[in-house]
Amino acid sequence: MREDVLTALSTVRDPELDEPITALGFVASCTVTADGQARVRLRLPTYFCAPNFAFLMVADAYDALMGVPGVSAAEVILEDHFASDAINAGVAAQAGFVQSFDGEAVAELGDLRAQFLRKAVMAGTDLVCRPLIAAGVTADELVALTLGAAAPSPELDRLRQRRDELGLAADDSAPLLIDPVSGERVEGSAVPLHLRKARVTRAGIDANASMCSGMLSHRYSRRGAGAEGEDSVGASFGTPPGISPQAPLPLG
């Protein structure tokens, strides 16, 4: 059952880096007893990681554990964090963010989650569009392109998933280029700026991931549970094969 629990934890993502907490090395330990009691300890790159981000990951991890068939009880503990006590107690009591930080928090975290999903959509757009641009696809052709017409790839699947989580069109007939807030197709003179924003967003996520990687590996020497290979954070959005990370966009 431990493997099932780790698989469930792999669906929990760092909201800012948009990567599974297992791959990021954030799962310090994971145990499951014979009667289905799952216990997970989480760790983060620094003592002062944002408490709202941390709360989302701990709460999402708890929900993921409770969704595993055979798990009778779940405990998720965040270690070595300045707000561990409030977060751990709040998640265990299913109290929500505002009640967990009574007098300090004024709103739940749905808007924050949506904000980072929109960034993930923009970063994913860059990953899907860059190989197309390198292959000579023009701005007008990108505007006309649908998700179904784009070549299948893990990056496209990921983009579809993030759009679906936001309630944006993600079926084959949906436009490839859309505004992540309104869901409207991006057209005409707005395309070059949209693509530049997508690239900058992806670069920002990559930079944050690289920084977190160094801090986590410096803080902890052992590999996280469920992580493959290294225990440090990999780039959250890799450079598409054959595309230089510094290659200019040929549009606009």
> Is 60 exceeded by the pLDDT of residue 248?
no
pLDDT given at position 66 = 97
**How far is it, in rounded angstroms, from Cα 36 to Cα 39?**
10
> Is 60 exceeded by the pLDDT of residue 250?
no
Q: What is the largest CA-CA distance in the chain?
A: 61
> Is 70 exceeded by the pLDDT of residue 126?
yes
> Is 90 exceeded by the pLDDT of residue 231?
no
pLDDT given at position 246 = 41
* Higher-confidence position of 75 and 231: 75
Helices (H), 67-137: 84-92, 96-100, 110-134
Encoded tokens for 29: 């330990």
Encoded tokens for 249: 């966009």
2-100, what's its fold? GMP Synthetase; Chain A, domain 3 (3.30.300)
For the chain, the average pLDDT equals: 91
Encoded tokens for 36: 């289905």
pLDDT in tens, 31-76: 999 999 999 999 999 999 999 999 999 999 999 999 999 999 999 9
pLDDT given at position 229 = 52
pLDDT in tens, 140-153: 999 999 999 999 99
Residues 185-192: contacts with CB within 8 Å, 24+ apart? 185/143, 186/143, 187/143, 188/143, 191/139, 191/142, 191/143, 191/251, 191/252, 192/139, 192/249, 192/251, 192/252
> Is 60 exceeded by the pLDDT of residue 252?
no
Between the alpha carbon of residue 183 and those of residues 158, 171, 217, the distances in Å are: 17, 13, 39
**How far is it, in rounded angstroms, from Cα 103 to Cα 105?**
6
> Is 80 exceeded by the pLDDT of residue 84?
yes
* Higher-confidence position of 237 and 85: 85
pLDDT given at position 233 = 37
Domain layout of the chain by residue ranges? 2-100, 110-219
> Is 80 exceeded by the pLDDT of residue 30?
yes
* Cα–Cα nearest to 16, from 82, 108, 113, 159: 113
pLDDT given at position 58 = 98
Mean pLDDT of 162-186: 98
